[in-house]
């Protein structure tokens, strides 16, 4: 009998070497392995006949062995067999696989899957005994990532073995609490050995549900803890008059929305309960100055403030911006190793270097920029401090009301829903295949005229995907090669992504800010608020793969200095709904409206796809699946949480330095 916590070392078929390989990938228990879902599935459930074989699509048929042979053609041995059914005969062939002939006894029938090669032979077909419960053929077959270092057939057998002998802890199994919820064990079978495609969808929805339940639970817990925190915060009496609200040093007039949010925050800071507020505003709407005003007043009164950015680039940008907006407060940029004094009242800006030292900084206020990079769990870490700081989280991700009520119910909300005056909307175009070459020429022309401009080119993936259903999805590695050729001797092209060495990432970033790079090929990392003043053009490959909110964030990266920005969406999708979506995006410039549009028009269908690149930190669920979110809330309300043990308890994030990109 296995259960979720059984070590994989104790699982039949897994030896020590295999175990160590898996452990390196963070997979050491039965639960870890079962939750490592197949990359995709092959549908071998339809049984065809020999006459149906083609060189295009793999099919499965039942064949009877008529002859076999084994011969050598150096450097390898070759095994071959002929099988027949009532529609014909076909030759099967293997290299260096002498065991196969032991299995293929003359006169016996097998389930065989494969497709023809150019010579009309089946090379290395899957062959399986004709039993009702086959693993590799005659059914929908899971395909796992090669990164586990286990041969796929073996992995299938191991997982099948586990599922046949698995005992699920009742407290983990939601079916114990609800009649209409499927047993977890079945769900896992659906995900690994589905009988129909519907079962895969059902399985994924269930994991998404599990994930949402944990988020709701965490949110409720934080809300409760927070409500008990009266008089435990840094009790600050600010008493700021309207006249004192904004320091003279701010060189522009705040928008009405900025003013409203600033007042609200200043009021919160004077309460005897710590603030936990989310500040939402489109990219470029000016959240930083709002947070800065709050920091300013606290520091003027002798408190410290911490600002946590998701990346080093952003931290140093905030440092520069805030120093110029608020020249008369002490502002420090902290790196992980820096040995600065932390006890003077100041604004401390950094990434994990700040998070790790919150106990020394003892801030009255912690500001998190771009909250989606940090899990809920992560942020509540600051609760462990003796004095509870106020918390302000800034994000450009529009979070619809339903989500706000369900999953972020522990947060108060301020929205900046207008842009500073004088911003030019980014001109956005949907570009088809036939216009690709001429767009490159157009970009080249723009680069050569007028003021200095930079181009950001975004690809969904870093490398070609091993998952064949992502064939044709642009990746940084290949695109960089292509673009380097296109712009050879015309522009300096560079690439940046999270799998590059940190040092390389830093070098590229420095060159980028020094204006030495004209075209940057990258992943959606730029989404996270990087302020490249000279970026004027953003090109997004496979635009159909991104949610509109993500696209909008990406688009917000250009034209930040007030120059005209351009956004080119490359998409070869022929689906009408996709094209319509992207066309809406070209016209609509309001982030919240775009997010709502997506919510109404996408939803459950997305669950089968990849998670939206970059935007979320959910593994299975999708923020856009409103229906699931509302049913998660209903289920959570009815769930006896004392008896329930969440399957997907949130693992706390490692406190290591965040990479620049991901």
- Smallest gap, in angstroms, from Cβ of residue 287 to Mg ion? 5
Give 258 or 304: the residue with its C-beta nearer to ligand ADP: 258
d(CA 626, CA 611): 15
Binding ligand ADP (rule: CB under 6 A), the pick from 18, 113, 234, 288 is 288
d(CA 547, CA 599): 9
Residues contacting Mg ion: total by CB under 5 A: 1
By CB under 6 A, what part of segment 289-348 binds ligand ADP?
289
Residue showing tokens 């106020």: 390
Query: Which DSSP letter does residue 136 get?
Result: S
- Smallest gap, in angstroms, from Cβ of residue 285 to ligand ADP? 5
50 binds, among ligand ADP, Mg ion, none (CB under 5 to 8 A by kind): none
Binding ligand ADP (rule: CB under 6 A), the pick from 95, 230, 252, 608 is 252
- Determine the interface stretch with ligand ADP among 222-230, 264-272, 276-284, 585-593 (rule: CB under 6 A): 276-284
454 part of the interface to ligand ADP, by CB under 6 A: no
Sequence-distant contacts of 117-121: CB under 8 A, at least 24 apart: 117/55, 118/55, 120/90, 120/91, 121/90, 121/91, 121/92, 121/93
420 part of the interface to ligand ADP, by CB under 6 A: yes
30 part of the interface to ligand ADP, by CB under 6 A: no
By CB under 5 A, what part of segment 523-552 binds Mg ion?
529
**Which residues have a Cβ under 8 Å from the Cβ of 227 and sit 6 or more positions away?**
273
The residue at minimum Cβ distance from Mg ion is 529
Binding mask 526-545 for ligand ADP (x = CB under 6 A): ---x-x--------------
283 part of the interface to ligand ADP, by CB under 6 A: yes
d(CA 645, CA 641): 8
Query: Which DSSP letter does residue 2 get?
Result: B
DSSP string, 202-255: HHHHHHHHHHHHHHHHHHHHHHHHHHT-TT-B--------TTTSS-TT--SPPP
d(CA 646, CA 48): 43
- Smallest gap, in angstroms, from Cβ of residue 254 to ligand ADP? 5
Q: Which token pair is 148?
A: 């586990």
285 part of the interface to ligand ADP, by CB under 6 A: yes
Q: Which token pair is 1?
A: 């009998």
Q: Which token pair is 404?
A: 């706000």
281 part of the interface to ligand ADP, by CB under 6 A: yes
DSSP string, 446-475: HHHSSS--EEEEE-SBSS--SSGGGTT--B
Give 327 or 432: the residue with its C-beta nearer to ligand ADP: 327
286 binds, among Mg ion, ligand ADP, none (CB under 5 to 8 A by kind): ligand ADP
- Determine the interface stretch with ligand ADP among 78-86, 281-289, 381-389, 583-591 (rule: CB under 6 A): 281-289
Binding ligand ADP (rule: CB under 6 A), the pick from 68, 80, 255, 262 is 255
Residue 48 pairs in a beta bridge with 61
420 binds, among ligand ADP, Mg ion, none (CB under 5 to 8 A by kind): ligand ADP
State the residues that interact with ligand ADP by CB under 6 A: 252-255, 258, 281, 283-289, 396, 420, 529, 531
State the residues that interact with Mg ion by CB under 5 A: 529
């Amino acid at each position: 009998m296995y259960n979720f916590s059984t070590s994989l070392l104790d699982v039949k078929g897994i030896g020590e070497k295999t175990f160590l390989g898996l452990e390196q990938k963070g997979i050491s228990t039965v639960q870890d392995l079962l939750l490592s879902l197949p990359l995709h599935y092959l549908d071998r459930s339809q049984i065809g006949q020999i006459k149906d074989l083609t060189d295009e699509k793999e099919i499965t048929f039942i064949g009877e062995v008529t002859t076999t042979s084994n011969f050598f053609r150096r450097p390898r041995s070759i095994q071959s067999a002929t099988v027949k059914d009532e529609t014909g005969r076909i030759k099967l062939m293997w290299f260096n696989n002498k065991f196969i002939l032991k299995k293929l006894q003359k006169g016996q029938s097998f389930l065989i899957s494969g497709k023809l090669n150019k010579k009309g032979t089946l090379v290395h077909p899957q062959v399986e005994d004709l039993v009702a419960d086959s693993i590799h053929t005659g059914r929908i077959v899971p395909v796992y990532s090669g990164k586990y270092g286990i041969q796929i057939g073996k992995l299938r057998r191991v997982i099948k073995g586990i599922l046949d002998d698995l005992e699920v802890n009742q407290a983990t199994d939601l079916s114990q609490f609800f009649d209409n919820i499927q047993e977890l064990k079945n769900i896992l079978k659906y995900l690994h050995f589905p009988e129909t495609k519907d079962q895969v969808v059902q399985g994924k929805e269930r994991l998404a549900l599990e994930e949402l339940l944990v988020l709701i639970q965490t949110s409720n817990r934080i809300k409760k803890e927070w409500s008990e925190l009266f008089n435990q915060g840094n009790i600050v009496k600010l008493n700021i008059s309207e006249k004192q609200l904004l320091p003279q040093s701010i060189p522009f007039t705040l928008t009405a929305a900025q003013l409203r949010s600033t007042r609200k925050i200043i009021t919160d800071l004077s309460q005897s309960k710590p603030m936990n507020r989310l500040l939402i505003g489109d990219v470029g709407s000016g959240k930083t100055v709002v947070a800065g005003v709050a920091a300013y007043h606290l520091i003027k009164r002798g408190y410290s403030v911490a600002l946590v950015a998701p990346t080093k680039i952003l931290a140093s940008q905030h440092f520069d911006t805030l120093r110029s907006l608020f020249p008369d407060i002490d502002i420090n940029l902290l790196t992980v190793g820096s040995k600065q004094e932390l006890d003077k009242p100041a604004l401390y800006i950094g990434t994990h270097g700040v998070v790790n030292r919150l106990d020394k900084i003892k801030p009255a206020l912690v500001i998190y920029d771009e909250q989606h990079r940090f899990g809920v769990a992560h942020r509540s870490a600051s609760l462990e401090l003796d004095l509870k700081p106020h918390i302000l989280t800034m994000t450009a991700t529009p979070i619809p009301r339903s989500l706000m009520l369900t999953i972020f119910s522990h947060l108060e909300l301020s929205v900046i829903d207008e842009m500073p005056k004088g911003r030019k909307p980014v001109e956005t175009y949907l570009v088809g295949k036939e216009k690709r070459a001429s767009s490159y020429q157009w970009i080249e022309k723009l680069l050569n005229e007028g003021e200095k401009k930079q181009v950001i080119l975004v690809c969904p993936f870093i490398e070609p995907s091993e998952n064949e259903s992502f064939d044709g999805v642009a990746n940084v590695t290949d695109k960089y090669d292509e673009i380097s050729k296109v712009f050879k001797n015309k522009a300096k092209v560079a690439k940046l992504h999270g799998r590059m060495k940190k040092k390389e990432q830093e070098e590229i970033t420095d060159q980028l800010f020094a204006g030495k790079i004209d075209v940057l090929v990258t992943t959606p990392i730029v989404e996270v608020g990087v302020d490249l003043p000279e970026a004027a053009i953003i090109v997004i490959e496979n635009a159909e793969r991104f949610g509109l909110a993500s696209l909008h964030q990406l688009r917000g990266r250009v034209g930040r200095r007030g120059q005209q920005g351009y956004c080119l969406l490359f998409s070869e999708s022929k689906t009408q709904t996709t094209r319509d979506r992207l066309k809406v995006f070209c016209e609509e410039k309001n982030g919240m409206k775009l997010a709502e549009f997506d919510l109404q028009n996408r939803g459950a269908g997305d669950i089968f796809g990849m998670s939206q690149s970059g935007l979320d930190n959910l593994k299975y669920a999708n923020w856009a699946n409103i229906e699931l979110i509302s049913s998660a809330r209903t289920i959570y309300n009815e769930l006896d949480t004392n008896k329930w043990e969440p399957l997907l308890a949130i693992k706390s994030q490692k406190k290591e330095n965040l990479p620049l990109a991901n």
